[in-house]
Structure formats: C-alpha cells, structure tokens
Structure 1
Amino acid sequence: MTTSSATPTVTPESLDDLRDAVGDHTGPLLVAGAGTASDWAGVPEPGATVLSTTSLTGVISHNPGDMTVAVRAGTPLVALQEILGEHGQRVAFDAARVGRGATLGGLFATADSGPLALTYGSLRDLVIGATVVLADGTVAHSGGHVIKNVAGYDLTKLLHGAQGTLGVVAELILRLHPTPVATATVSLPAPQADAAGRARAVAASPVEASAVQWLQEGATGRLLARLEGTRDGVAGRVTRLRETLGAGAELLSETDASAAWAAHEAAVDGAADNGAADRAVLRVGVTPSQLTGLLTGLTHATGVTAAPLTGVATLSVPATAGAVDDVHRRVADLGGTSLLRRRPAGRADLAALGPAPTSATLLRAVAASLDPDQRFGRGRLAPWLPTGVTA
C-alpha cells in the first residue's frame, strides 16, 4: 500500500491493504478509480482522503466453462475484455467511457451502461457477487461465492449506482457471454419523433437487435440497430431488418458503423459539444413511452443520444442552474431519474440530482446502518443523502 502526502491519497494493493486503509484513516474517504467520472453526481466535500483503487487490479479467477470471472475492482474493463477475448468471451457491456480506461468498480458505482443494456442489462444484472469493505472495516461478501452477508442486505444491488457512498467495492464476480463472430449495424435517417415507432417495429420483429440507439444529428437524426451472431445469421437478419425499417435503411460498412457508434460515445461523454465550458451533460431515464415527450419538451438540449426501447438518454444543456433544474424537474414529474454526468469546472451550484423521491428515506436508513458517519463519498448524493443527517 502506498500513501501520498501532497494530496492525501492512499493506494491499497490488496484486499487486506484496503481493509487496513479504511480502518487506519478515520476521517472521510473519497473512492477513486481511473477518474473518468470524477465530475459526476454531487461535488465531494473537501478534505477527504482519496482511496485509490488503481492498484487493485487483475483477474482473481476465470471459469470459462461456467462463463464467470472474479476480478479486482480497479481493473480497467478494456484490459479484462482483452483477457476474456482469448477465450471467445466478453463482459457484454459497452458504456462510452470504457475506452478511456474506466475501471469495473467505477462503472459499477456509477451505474453506467451502454446500448447493449437493451439485451444484456447493466452491471447490476451482470455482476453476480461482490466483496465490499464497509466503513467499520468489515469485509463483506454478497452473492457469488458467499462467505458472509451483512444484515440481510444485498450489497451487490445496494452499491450499484451509489456513487462511491456506503462502502468501497474491492472485488466483483461477473457473468460472461460469448463474443459474437459477426456484427452489423443498420442505419435509418429518422427525426426523434419517429424514432420510437421505428424502434418498436424492430423490437416486434424476429431480428433480435442487440442494441437500438437514436442519435441527434443537426435538425434531425438517425436510428442505429446493431445485430450480433454468426456470419450467415447476421446477414439474413440484416435483410429482414432493412425490410422492417423500410426505405432509407442501409447496412453500414465496418468503418461507418464504427464512426456512428463513436458519435454516440462522444455525445455521452459530452464531446459532441467539444467539451464546451458552458454546457452540462445529464443522463435521464423514464419509461420508454414517455421518452419522446420528454425530449420534445427539452428544446434547449443538444448532443442527444437516446435508447427508445429502454427510456434512457444522455443530453447536453446550457450550464445554468435553471436549465439543469428544468431537466431534473421534468424527469421527476414523469417518475424517472436524472443525474448530472458532467459539470464545467467551478460549477458546484449545478444540481446533481432531481427532487428527492420517497425512496430517499430508505437510502438514508441504509446509509445510517452501513456508514453512519458518512465516511464514503460525502457530498456525492447530496441532497438525497444530506451531510450529517441520519435516518
């Protein structure tokens, strides 16, 4: 375990190191991985010791026959995919920031996901077990190879999307899927108002698209549908998919398909507006039937990329309190969720979350049980989890 005194940072190199670091540092702790989501959610309170997971890396065990892998949480997913690829397997997960070195623990803690969530779900669905260090130094195991559970909680579910609060994930056990032999992307020019109907037609057809995504492009946009499988199977399904989508649907070349999905990732990462200092990026989630109405009402949104069949979208709005609050309010009125995914430097005034749902009471109760002093990620879930407030 290494310690830096310039910026209080502790870098454990093993599970025992991590447990000791939590026990030895009695003040607030800020869990950090590769830093690809450092400006997500709420602004951490200053003065916390950074608990870096960047040395908690590597595969613990891989069982190709059972299609499971146990891995340390600081492992970049892109590195794990290379190892699994040698066995024709993968973690079927494609969040935009994976290519920038995002770690499994960070992706799990932020509840990030990508277009493949349509078929395979998020990491909440792919992670079947976790080893977690709690605020009192307890090493707890949930799911997978269970050794000890804590107070009946399913820690795997609790810490997914907790933004580094409640506890720190040390190890994860994931279910795997085969790497497809062939992939293909069909593109259709379509305004946002038509995207939902076209996407439903794809879902109702037998083509079994693994991902369906709409991208805003200028005054209009286009719908992308990805197919995966055997070469012959994909070829036949492409023909059927183009018939389903109608005139204008085309099979993209491998180069054009890569560029199209890269455009989606750029929008998610906020690069669609070139990282402009006057824009904020939010991720929203509503029921699929509500997504079109929500996006139509957000006339000031740009860089929109949306999954019509799951109700999830990422968008950019002016970096003003009014514009960000408007998105949060509209989503909350629909019973959905919203999260600030990028804030310009120095803009701590931008709300990370919308109005607190009734479930926030349960969140505070869980926090009071697992981390009563709010040592982990203090400020990340404010105001849903106010500093110093217990259940």
Structure 2
Amino acid sequence: MTRAAPTTLRPTSAREVRDAVLDTPGRLAITGAGTAAGWAGRADDDVAATLDLSGLSGVIHHNPGDMTVSVHAGTPVLALQEQLAEHGQRLAFDAARVARGATVGGLLATADAGPSALVWGGLRDLVIGTTSVLADGTMVRSGGHVIKNVAGYDMAKLLHGSHGTFGPVVEVVLRLHPVPKAVACVAVDGPVAEAASRVLELMASPLEPIAVEWVSGDPGRLLVRLEGGAGTLPARVERLRELLGADAREVGPDAWDAHASLTDGPHTGGDADGPARDGAVVRIGCAPTRLAPLVEQLPAIAVTAGLATGVATVTVPGAAVTQVHDAVAAVGGTSMLRDRPEALDAPAWGPAPSALALLKAIKNQLDPEARFAAGRFAPWM
C-alpha cells in the first residue's frame, strides 16, 4: 500500500509554528529554502507533516546604533544583506549557499560558514539570541540578557549545527559589522603544500587577511582577501604580494566563483558539468597545520581548503566516502557528507563523537518522542 505524501505546513509567524507543532501528531520534517536538503543523514520520509519555514521571513527589528538585527528564521541572507547595506552594515558571513537563497535559520541549523569565518567566525559567533519551538510547543528564548533559558540550556549554541533535531528556529538576533570601504584579493598559483607554507608566514605577519583559501587545480591557487580603508588598502596589497612571492597578483572578486562552486558541490548548485559531477562532497575540519597533509592523502577530485581555519570541502568518488571519514578521524578531525548523487548509499558522518551520550541526553529531554529531524544524525541517533 502506497503511503500518502505528508502534508506541507507553511506557517508565517512564530505562533503558527508553535500551533503546527502542537496540532500535528507524530514526526515533523523541517525545511526552508532547500539549499542543504542533501546534507548530513537523509531525512526519514516517515513523517506526519513537513514544516516549511520559508514563509517565516523578514526583519523584525534593526537597531543600526547597536549594530544588531532580529529576523525571522526563514529570511534569506542575501535579502537581509541588501537591507543592511543601506545603513552601511552587513552580516559578516559569506557561505556559498547565500547566493542561492539560503536562510538565516537554515545556515544556523547546518553550521555552515564561508571563507571569512577566519576572522568573523560562523553564525555561532554572530548569533546573540534565538527563539525556537520545542516538541511540546514551548517557545524558548535564548540570548541578550537571558544567558540561560527556561529549558536550562544555551539554546543559541545548541541550535548551531543541530539540523533541526531540537526543533524549529523561528527568530534569530544577529551581531552586525560595518561594510568595508575597500576589498582586494591576491592570488598565487601552487600546490597545497606550498600554499600551506605561505599561509604560515602570512598568518604570522601584520597583514590581517579576512579570508585565506586554497582551490584545487593544476597546480591549484591560493586566494587571500583583504579589507580596509580605500587609502590604506593598496599599500597592504603590495606588501601581501611581496610576501606571497613574485608570481602573486591582484585578481577580481570573480576569482572566488570557483571556490563557491566547489564548496556547493555539483548536485546542489555547483558546477554540474565539472570534473566533480559524479562525486560526493565531504566537509572536513581538523587542526590547520594538519589540513594540507590530510588533503594530499585523500583521493580528491576537487578541493577547497581553508589553510588557516582547518576547514575544507573535498569532492571524492562515492566509493571513497568511508575512507575520507576514517582519514579525518585519524587526525582528530570531524567530517560530514554534504552533497551526493541520489543513488549513492554512503555514511553521512564519521565516527561518533565522544560527546554522543550527552547529545542523546539533551535530545531525550527536549524531544523525548524524537519528533524532529529523524535520520539527520543516523546512525548515531
């Protein structure tokens, strides 16, 4: 007997989200813009309803003087940036998915980050408050003057990378930064080991790069982004070129397009006709000094590597996903599958973390009937 497709609920307010949770028996899938639908474990399709938060969008309150903004969780970051730019402000966040309409809540739930996380961190570091809905309908607020909420946890931190397992995020309060007066990018070609050596020298210098990423190719390219005043930036660019070597040159902002394409993956917005089109994309993280040697040993088709952050995105043959998880775990890192062909059956996560028992205990307290995000952390829980 064919199971009927689950009902899709499209709330437009936090109250409607709470009502949907209370009125729907059984499991709920949580979706938004769909830019990370294939990340982590595949969502269990045995759900009573799908909670689509894309209609929960818009700025609630922007305080330019305090450089903070509160938004509904379904707000696309791209649209938010356009509004903030009118006040000379920005959310200092540049994950590749932003260009495809990724929302604040979705980016928080997936713990995504971009190259500028080197300086500004991920959303975990930019979020100063959240409102979410628990499985029993409780509206939980965290942040601002509320250091610990009624649930007994700092929910703003727990929700980062939760993939919806603790319930839907409905509102987020964010810390803002000024739009830079000038931006420049310098590139130098070379293999990853050579790039890593240059990055060690760069990070010990006073140049203060905003982003440092290596993109695979023949032989590969190191990209370094600087921000600053219009009058002072040219001199810093020249010093950066001297540090990186005679072949270093200033390039335009479109130099980052290849980085974004490889980070996105061929099945979720990247280059569907490129060399990585049949591969699986794995996000890995480890100590920065271990990243280049790790990348060199992987059977990678394509790579973007944050040599100063220790975060990389590698595209590998589907059959090599387990090998990647094991290699990353061997150097004390973490890994997660974030793009794959539909037919590929591969583990989404590496070995279970040491804090798994704690994670399960929190899940059991906040969502004892496991109503939210079933399958996302399989096979751990």
Per the normalisation by structure 1, the TM-score is 0.92
Contact 1:141–1:147 (Cα < 8 Å) also in 2: no
Q: Are the aligned partners of 1:205 and 1:244 in contact in 2 as well (CA < 8 Å)?
A: no
2:199 alignment partner in structure 1: 199
Q: What residue in structure 1 maps to residue 370 of structure 2?
A: 374
Amino acid at match of 2:369: D
Contact map agreement 1:94 1:116 (CA 8 A) in 2: yes
Q: Give the C-alpha shift of residue 357 in structure 1.
A: 1.7
CA distance in 2, matches of 1:342, 1:274: 15
Counterpart secondary structure, 1:345: coil
What's the offset of the Cα at 1:151?
A: 3.3
Distance 2:201 2:87 in 1: 35
Residues 22-31 or 71-80, more deviating = 22-31
Cα distance, 1:194 vs structure 2: 1.0
The answer for the alignment partner of 2:264 in structure 1 is: 269
Q: For the Cα contact (< 8 Å) 2:185–2:253, is it kept in 1?
A: no
Q: Is the 8 A contact 1:273 1:303 kept in 2?
A: no
1:269 is displaced (CA, Å) by: 1.0
Quick one: structure 1 residues 147 and 190, their matched pair in 2 at CA, closer, same or farther if it must change by over 3 Å? Answer: closer
Residues 77-156 of structure 1: pairs in structure 2 closer than 5 A:
77-144=77-144, 146=146, 149-156=149-156
Structure 2 Cα separation of the partners of residues 139 and 117 of structure 1: 30
* 2:304 aligned with 1:308: no
Aligned equivalent of 1:260: 255
Tell me the distance in 2 between the aligned counterparts of 1:22 and 1:350.
31
Amino acid corresponding to residue 262 of structure 1 in structure 2: D
Count of residue pairs the alignment pairs up = 372
Instruction: Tell me the equivalent position of 1:388.
Output: none
Q: Secondary structure at the match of 1:290?
A: helix
* Alignment partner, residue 341 of structure 1: 338
**Following TM superposition, by how much is the alpha carbon of 1:146 offset from its aligned partner in structure 2, in angstroms?**
3.4
Identity within the alignment, %: 56
RMSD: 1.5
Correspondence 1:119-268 to 2 at 5 A: 119-144=119-144, 146=146, 149-218=149-218, 220-252=219-251, 257-268=252-263
For each residue in 1:220-266, what CA deviation from the matched residue of structure 2 results, as whole angstroms up to 9, or x when unmatched? 111111011111121111011111112111111xxxx2321011000
- Which deviations, in whole Å up to 9, do the C-alpha atoms of 1:292-319 show, x marking residues without a partner? 1111110x20220000001000010111
- 1:372 Cα deviation (Å)? 1.1
3-state SS of paired residue (2:129) = strand
| 1:389 alignment counterpart | none
Per the alignment, residue 296 of structure 2 pairs with 296
Instruction: Give the deviation of 1:346 after TM superposition.
Output: 2.8
- Residue ranges of structure 2 left out of the alignment (5+ in a row): none
- Quick one: distance in 1 between partners of 2:58 and 2:254? 31
After superposition, the C-alpha distances for 1:258-290 in whole angstroms (9 at most, x for unaligned) are 321011000001134637663100100000011
Query: Could you say what secondary structure the match of 2:326 adopts?
Result: helix
CA offsets 1:114-151 (integer angstroms, 9 cap, x no match): 00000000000000100010111000001125398133
Q: Is the 8 A contact 1:12 1:53 kept in 2?
A: yes
Match for 1:359: what amino acid? A
Cα distance in 1 between the residues matched to 2:293 and 2:247: 25
Q: Is the Cα–Cα contact under 8 Å of residues 110 and 160 in structure 1 kept in the other structure?
A: yes
Distance in structure 1 (CA, Å) of the matches to 2:370 and 2:144:
27
Match of 1:364 among 342, 360, 363: 360
Could you tell me which amino acid in structure 1 is paired with residue 334 of structure 2?
Answer: T
272-281 vs 162-171, greater mean Cα deviation: 272-281
SS in 2 for 1:232: coil
SS at match of 1:231: coil
